[in-house]
Amino acid sequence: MQRRPGFPARLPGAGPAPAPARTMPPPSPVARRPSAVSSPVGVGLDSAAVRARMVQKLAAGGIGSAQVLQAMGAVERHRFVDSALVNQAYEDTSLPIGLGQTISKPSVVARMCELLLGAEGARSGGLGRVLEIGTGCGYQAAVLSQLAREVYSLERLRGLHDKARDNLRAFRLANLHLLFGDGTLGYAKGAPYAAIIAAAGGDAVPQAWCDQLAVGGRLVAPIALSGGQQMLLVIDKTPHGLKQTVLEPVHFVPLKSGIA
Q: Does 200 bind ligand SAH (CB under 6 A)?
A: yes
Instruction: Say whether residue 223 binds ligand SAH (CB under 6 A).
Output: no
Query: Is residue 103 close enough to count as binding ligand SAH by CB under 6 A?
Result: yes
Among 17-25, 148-156, 170-178, 214-222, the segment contacting ligand SAH (CB under 6 A): 148-156
Identify the residue among 39, 65, 101, 145 touching ligand SAH (CB under 6 A): 101
* Known catalytic residue at 47: no
Under rule CB under 6 A, residue 156 binds ligand SAH: yes
**Ramachandran quadrant class, 241 (left: phi over 0; alpha: psi -120 to 50; beta: rest):** left
Using rule CB under 6 A, residue 95 touches ligand SAH: no
Residue number, 102 or 120, with CB nearest to ligand SAH: 102
Q: Which is nearer to ligand SAH, 213 or 216 (CB)?
A: 213
Output the smallest distance, CB 98 to ligand SAH, in A. Answer: 9
**Hey, what amino acid is at 138?**
G
> Of the candidates 7, 139, 152, 209, which one interacts with ligand SAH according to CB under 6 A?
139
> Which one of 39, 65, 104, 145 is the catalytic residue?
104
Q: Does 182 bind ligand SAH (CB under 6 A)?
A: yes
**Which residues lie near ligand SAH (CB under 6 A)?**
97, 101-104, 133-134, 136-137, 139-140, 154-157, 160, 182-184, 199-200, 253, 255-257
Residue numbers annotated as active site: 104
